[in-house]
Chains A and B, each alone.
Chain A
Amino acid sequence: MNLRRDVFQAIADPTRRGILLLVASQSMTAGAIASNFDTARPTVSKHLQILTECELLKQEQNGREISYHTNAKKMKEVADFIEPFRKMWDDRFNKLETIMRKYKSQ
């Protein structure tokens, strides 16, 4: 059964975020990805399945093996969703820091 998945469900899990970071720079096979986690192999497979279903990961057939790499377009969608909110707070806090530095030097 395939539940409708969305990207935010996918990135809510720390292992899945770890997987995304891992394959961000290079495509990797399921086995190579699993070897980076203490989690059991079937659990990692399940995470890969979820990430693939919501299109954060793309599969590529390499002979007998399947390798995974990130889908840049979808990743951007996730980043953009929260980025304006993060930026708003970052700007505020940067301002706070600048203002309080003046008090520090007094």
Chain B
Amino acid sequence: MERKTKINAGEGKQDLVITREFDLPLELLFKAYAESEIVEQWMGTKVLKLENKKHGGYQFETSDAEGNVVFRANGVVHEFVPNQKIIRTFEMENTPFPVQLEFLEFEQLAGDSSKLTMQIIYKSVADRDQMLQLPFAQGINMAHNRLQDIVRKLK
């Protein structure tokens, strides 16, 4: 089966390209990026600010069940062309990861489907490779936390 989301990360390069085809018309795909309440749903984070315009900014925040902030990210919008492209920066707060630059291109495909191409440029090759490994590391952490919760209940 063809994988829907593809990642192209060339060795020794400091960028990567994520591509995905959606069974959605272009306008609906773009809408998912343009409206705060929709972004909140699929990103699983709270949107504190989303200014979709040149020189605009955005801020996301995620809290755990106890209300502690576990993730906060922000960025600046450089270009926002509806149904075509978004150019923005992305920075995770309180982490050693440097800010990254993102180019998002939206395309209409045949038969009411659409395509997103997202190029992410990192500060260095090492930073990119570390970011690639992050979900793997997080997965281990999450499993660990779950284990801690279970253990705590046993006490």
* Chain A residues at the B interface, C-beta cutoff of 8 Å: 6, 8-12, 80-82, 84-90, 92-97, 99-101, 103-104
A11 to B43, CA, bound (A): 30
Q: Is the CB of A84 within 8 A of B139?
A: yes
Q: Is the CB of B25 within 8 A of A104?
A: yes
Instruction: Kindly identify which residue among A89, A92, A96 contacts B7, using a CB–CB cutoff of 8 Å.
Output: A89
A81: chain B residues at CB < 8 Å are: 132-133, 136
B38 nearest in chain A by CB position? A99
- Known contacts A82-B132, A85-B135: A90-B4 contact under CB 8 Å: yes
Q: Is the CB of A93 within 8 A of B20?
A: yes
Q: Secondary structure at chain A's binding surface: helix, strand, loop or mixed? A: helix
Q: Is the CB of A96 within 8 A of B11?
A: no
Q: State whether the Cβ of B123 lies closer than 8 Å to any Cβ in chain A.
A: no
Number of interface residues of B (CB under 8 A): 33
Per-position 1/0 for B128-148, Cβ under 8 A of A: 000111111001000000000
A6 to B10, CA, bound (A): 13
Q: Is the CB of A86 within 8 A of B29?
A: no
Per-position 1/0 for B32-59, Cβ under 8 A of A: 1000001001111000000000000000
B132 nearest in chain A by CB position? A85
Per-position 1/0 for B92-133, Cβ under 8 A of A: 000000000000000000000000100000000000000111
A94: chain B residues at CB < 8 Å are: 4
18 contacts between A and B (CB under 8 A): A8-B11, A12-B10, A82-B132, A84-B139, A85-B7, A85-B134, A86-B7, A88-B135, A93-B20, A93-B42, A93-B116, A99-B32, A99-B42, A100-B24, A100-B29, A103-B31, A104-B24, A104-B25
B23: chain A residues at CB < 8 Å are: 97, 101
A8: chain B residues at CB < 8 Å are: 11
Distance from B47 Cβ to chain A, minimum over Cβ atoms (Å):
14
Q: Is the CB of A93 within 8 A of B4?
A: yes
The 9 closest A-B pairs by CB, nearest first: A12-B11, A90-B5, A96-B42, A84-B135, A84-B136, A8-B11, A95-B42, A88-B135, A100-B28
Distance from B24 Cβ to chain A, minimum over Cβ atoms (Å):
5
Q: Is the CB of B28 within 8 A of A103?
A: yes
Q: Is the CB of B12 within 8 A of A87?
A: no
Q: State whether the Cβ of B81 lies closer than 8 Å to any Cβ in chain A.
A: no
Q: Is the CB of A89 within 8 A of B42?
A: no
Q: Is the CB of B4 within 8 A of A100?
A: no
B5: chain A residues at CB < 8 Å are: 86, 89-90, 93
